């Protein structure tokens, strides 16, 4: 019975992570279509002005969803690897190579996605006369930056879930061995 509840719990958590990842990806795609264009830029001598737009809100939503999904996924992996009752008591934590590799890849893609998404979102905010975005100059987000961030968000979620699934399978195999050892 406990195993059945645990399975439903994992399915619920996986669904939440996948949903957050998809919301992050869709927000990136929408932000790509809503980002400021060159025609929105107003120049007055050396001063420039760029009005804020909806891409800023979608970029923030993408950042929040991706960050929450990454945190939940990492908590799930940690729970699978380090926090079973037996391992808690023995202070042993195994780190399978495949799980660790996917986890590191997940964090690298997450870091790059957050940097790209954060910079693009920040540039999509209103840039007023005389202040601009950086050094009193106005900047526009290049084409494909939000889309690339969305793809990196999917890669992050995919590698995070892959790592969680592998760690979950490892626990199931170990439990199966214990059952067979007790029977035999």
**Domain of 73, in residue numbers:** 2-183
Predicted confidence (pLDDT) per residue in 92-149, tens digit:
555 678 888 888 999 999 999 999 999 998 888 777 776 656 666 777 878 999 999 9
Predicted confidence (pLDDT) per residue in 51-93, tens digit:
778 888 999 999 999 999 999 988 887 777 665 555 544 445 5
Predicted confidence (pLDDT) per residue in 5-63, tens digit:
667 777 888 899 999 999 999 999 999 998 888 887 777 777 777 777 888 899 999 99
Tell me the HSE value of 148 on the side-chain side, using a 13 A CA sphere.
15
At which residue do the structure tokens 């809100």 appear?
Answer: 57
What gap in Å lies between CA 53 and CA 60, rounded to an integer? 12
Number of domains in the chain: 1
């Amino acid at each position: 019975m406990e195993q059945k509840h645990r399975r439903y719990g994992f399915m619920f958590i996986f669904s939440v992570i996948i949903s957050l990842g998809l919301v992050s990806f869709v927000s990136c795609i929408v932000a790509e279509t809503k980002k400021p264009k060159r025609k929105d830029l107003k120049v007055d001598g050396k001063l420039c002005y760029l009005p804020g737009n909806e891409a800023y809100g979608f970029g923030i939503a993408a950042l929040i969803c991706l960050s929450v999904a990454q945190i939940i996924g990492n908590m799930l992996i940690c729970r699978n690897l380090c926090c079973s009752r037996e391992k808690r008591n023995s202070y042993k934590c195994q780190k399978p190579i495949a799980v660790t590799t996917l986890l590191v890849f997940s964090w690298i893609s997450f870091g790059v996605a957050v940097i790209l998404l954060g910079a693009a979102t920040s540039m999509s905010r209103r840039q007023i006369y005389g202040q601009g975005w950086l050094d009193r100059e106005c900047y526009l987000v290049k084409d494909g930056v939000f889309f690339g961030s969305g793809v990196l968000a999917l890669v992050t979620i995919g590698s995070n879930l892959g790592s969680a699934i592998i760690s979950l399978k490892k626990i199931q195999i170990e439990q199966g061995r214990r059952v067979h050892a007790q029977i035999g």
